[in-house]
Amino acid sequence: MKLIPRVRRRIREKQYSYSTEKTYVRWIVRFIRFQKMKHPEEMGEQEISEFLSYLANERNVSSSTQNQALNALVFLYREVLRREIGDFGKFARAQKPTLLPTLLGEEEVRQILTHLPGTYKLMTCLLYGCGLRLKECLRLRVKDIDFERSQIWIRQGKGKKDRVVPLPKTVRTLLQKQIEKVSEIHTKDLERSGGRVFLPNALETKYPNAAKSLAWQYLFPAHRISQDPRTGLKRRHHLFDDVLSKHIKRATEKAGIRKKISAHTFRHSFATRLLECGQDIRTVQKLLGHSDLKTTMLYCLPSYRRISEKVSYSAYIFVSVFYLVSASA
């Protein structure tokens, strides 16, 4: 079997995401082309070091991009070629800058929400009111919303970890309307002999009917049916990553906010606001799903100078999200 199909097969055996598959394959191809189409089995530590140094010195890539390329090559040699690579740590490393996160105040969040249409406003409220990552929000399914316990279940988040976050009471109505909308879309898909959705970890084999149930449908479904690039099956996936990002960028411009805003900015603002309201750092760490407290500290670094009042987390969720959603309705 040729090299790239072997790489793809091994990635799927390890149950890595499709985005990781595309990224690793792209870096492996770039590595081979850089070394003038030599087969990786004929190369080793020196060639890897040359490529990584080229990325830092000639291409001026960031440290995270260089690490991404390194991870792809390590995966190639260890998991696909089954070969231990020696010491290649003497390559030029891209400098990792220490950057403070961009933060939004409540008034700025309200202004952005007023310029977002319905579904995208709800998604942004969840990013800010629950501290979700963009992919975590996109991958929510109908069954993950627990109205009885006022909780949202985050399944297989970063690091394949599950966690639970509180459901703001003031977005309950918006979520119920969104589920009704999903139900209508799903009913039409079933009438067209469709209605199937992707299920993780071979659950489709174990539970053949689950893929057509409303509970497993994505909370924010895509506008049209698409073809799964791995299986070729036609199914309705969730919205693509860049859809919400484009709406947030547009809303930020309309609001006249001159900050570099992304979907992740709302997660940073969520963590910082909690700390400013007196919540302890360990609780913030748990809600964000961080394994290392140092990561949480980086999120909340700008807030330490401004901590003043002591407000419980539940009070913050009720007051803050109610103000934002109602003011932008």
CB atoms within 10 A of CB 161: 12
For residue 208, give the H/E element and its range.
Answer: none
Residue 35 DSSP symbol:
T
Q: Say which of 59, 158, 230, 254 is annotated catalytic.
A: 158
The stretch 244-251 carries a mean pLDDT of: 95
The whole-model pTM stands at 0.80
- In sequence order, what E strands does 96-231 have? 145-146, 151-154, 163-166, 226-227
Q: How large a percentage of the chain has pLDDT more than 90?
A: 54
SS3 state at 246: helix
Whether the Cβ atoms of residue 88 and residue 45 lie closer than 8 Å to each other:
yes
End-to-end Cα spacing for the chain: 57
Above 60 in pLDDT, residue 3?
A: yes
Q: Is 39 a catalytic residue?
A: no
- With cut-offs at 50, 70 and 90, classify the pLDDT of residue 89: low
Above 60 in pLDDT, residue 121?
A: yes
pLDDT tens readout for residues 290-325: 888 887 877 666 554 444 334 444 444 444 444 454
Q: Say which of 6, 30, 93, 133 is annotated catalytic.
A: 133
pLDDT, mean over the chain = 86
Whether the Cβ atoms of residue 164 and residue 152 lie closer than 8 Å to each other:
yes
Residue ranges per domain, the chain?
3-80, 106-328
pLDDT tens readout for residues 201-229: 778 788 888 989 999 999 999 999 988 88
- With cut-offs at 50, 70 and 90, classify the pLDDT of residue 278: confident
pLDDT for position 156: 84
Q: Say which of 6, 212, 264, 286 is annotated catalytic.
A: 264
Q: Is 290 a catalytic residue?
A: yes
pLDDT tens readout for residues 154-201: 998 888 889 999 998 889 999 999 999 999 999 999 998 888 899 887
C-alpha span between 9 and 15 (Å, rounded): 10
pLDDT tens readout for residues 22-54: 999 999 999 999 999 999 999 988 899 999 999
C-alpha span between 138 and 237 (Å, rounded): 10
C-alpha span between 144 and 326 (Å, rounded): 24
- With cut-offs at 50, 70 and 90, classify the pLDDT of residue 327: very low
Q: Is 155 a catalytic residue?
A: no
pLDDT for position 300: 66
Q: Is 247 a catalytic residue?
A: no
- With cut-offs at 50, 70 and 90, classify the pLDDT of residue 88: low
| Matching CATH number, 106-328, of 3.10.20.30, 3.40.190.10, 1.10.443.10, 3.40.50.1220 | 1.10.443.10
Q: Say which of 267, 268, 273, 316 is annotated catalytic.
A: 267
Domain 3-80 architecture: Orthogonal Bundle (1.10)
